[in-house]
Chains A and B, each alone.
Chain A
Amino acid sequence: MSLLLDIFSVVAIVAGGFFYLAGTVGLLRFPDAYTRLHALTKADNLGLALVVIGLLPQVGSLLAGLKLLLVWLLVMLSSAAVSQLIARSVRRQEPR
């Protein structure tokens, strides 16, 4: 059972790492601010979700698991809000 959980953790965290990598490639390669933000927010949120899901079976206590989930929610909230703000500020600077 614990071996299965370990395999699940490794698979989920590696998949999460892949999405982070994909998001970073997008950040470096995409042509403008909007597409870069798009790549970052989507891919990183998914990457973080997979990493958190992968770590959940490994935590010792229920409280630590809840803290992990809280961190995940807070990061999602802030990254979603901040990317909106960045996009809006980019749009304001564009010539119309």
Chain B
Amino acid sequence: MMVPVVSVVVVALLLWLAVWTVVARDAFLAVAAFVVYGLLLALVWVRLAGVDVALTEAAIGGGLTGALLLGAVGRLRRTEAATTSEGASIATRILAALLALSVTAALMVAVLMLPEPPPSLAPMVVPAMPATGVGNPITGVLLAFRALDTLLEAIVLVIALIGVWSIAPDRAWGGRPGLRYHADPNGILAYLARVLPPLGIVIGIYLFWAGADHPGGKFQGATILAAMWMLVQMAALADAPRTDAASLRAGIVIGPLVFIAVGTLGLWTGGTFLGYPAGWAKPLILTIEIALLPTLVLVLALLMNGPPSRRAVP
């Protein structure tokens, strides 16, 4: 079996970046390496013909997680020097190394011991795809065959946001999250925040809509939409929303609520929770997807914003 040179180079780079991310002394450098690692990993997924996974990795693994980690670096900056100079004891380091090595070894054993051919439900899914009316098998699996997973995922996101919000001090509860950004209203950032969002919104909605039949979907689209919103906030063209606004909270919970409503409907019509009645799969999937979009955009952006920190103005 010939392995193309490009694959070898990309994998070598990926491993090197992974090691670099772990050993980097400076948190900022580690996060920078992590973002590049995510983008390179997306490239690997493209080479493995997993375009859906590649899009998700680039948008969420590299982009969103990277931005969240950068935010964390900013908050930790004051205490970072003290933490690194303190250092960990030799015993802790050996323990950490052993733990990391044993996880790696376990994963390697698991991958190498996979039966040939690997167990797969794909042959059962493919003939059932037409019944869903969706062209992209990934979307079909996420919203028809494993819809319960997707529902729980959406609920987990909402719970994560509640978790972040609950760090807020009492006096800031319901106020706007994060610090108010200051930027030159005639600067390059403000220019970018005016030029890019129209394009970004179109691309985000396109990715969302294309997800029915092509690689793409609500998560990737929502990440781009959330990024556009963050860009506008960072350029100080708009402030973060008040977290006690009823419309905001309604937008956050609408996705899981509609999902559960459709699922309950399935109890009567399809016989099981989340069972779609014959012929109604596509419209119901579309309803869920459209309802999930505001939830995802709001949650992803508000996770970036962080806990409410400014006093709620009555």
Confirm or deny: A81 has a beta carbon within 8 angstroms of a beta carbon on chain B.
yes
Please state if B199 and A81 are interface contacts (CB–CB under 8 Å).
no
B192, closest chain A residue (CB): A81
| 14 interchain pairs, CB-CB under 8 A | A74-B199, A77-B192, A77-B195, A77-B196, A78-B192, A78-B196, A81-B188, A81-B189, A81-B191, A81-B192, A84-B188, A85-B188, A85-B189, A88-B188
Q: How far is the CB of B58 from chain A (nearest CB, A)?
A: 13
Taken together as a complex, chains A and B put the C-alpha atoms of A21 and B190 apart, in Å, by 32
Q: Which residues of A contact B (CB under 8 A)?
A: 74, 77-78, 81, 84-85, 88
Secondary structure call for the B interface = helix
Q: Counting chain B CB atoms within 10 Å of each CB, which of A81, A85, A88 scores highest?
A: A81
Q: With contacts defined as CB atoms under 8 Å apart, how many contacts are there between chain A and chain B in the complex? A: 14
User: Which are the 7 A-B pairs with shortest beta-carbon distances?
Assistant: A81-B192, A84-B188, A81-B188, A85-B189, A85-B188, A77-B195, A77-B196
A85 contacts across to B, CB distance below 8 A: 188-189
Taken together as a complex, chains A and B put the C-alpha atoms of A74 and B199 apart, in Å, by 9
B191 contacts across to A, CB distance below 8 A: 81
B191, closest chain A residue (CB): A81
Q: How far is the CB of B223 from chain A (nearest CB, A)?
A: 16
Taken together as a complex, chains A and B put the C-alpha atoms of A78 and B188 apart, in Å, by 10
Task: For the A-B complex with A77-B196, A81-B189 known, give 12 more contacts whose Cβ atoms are closer than 8 Å.
Answer: A74-B199, A77-B192, A77-B195, A78-B192, A78-B196, A81-B188, A81-B191, A81-B192, A84-B188, A85-B188, A85-B189, A88-B188
Taken together as a complex, chains A and B put the C-alpha atoms of A77 and B196 apart, in Å, by 9
B195 contacts across to A, CB distance below 8 A: 77
Taken together as a complex, chains A and B put the C-alpha atoms of A78 and B192 apart, in Å, by 8
Taken together as a complex, chains A and B put the C-alpha atoms of A41 and B192 apart, in Å, by 17
A77 contacts across to B, CB distance below 8 A: 192, 195-196
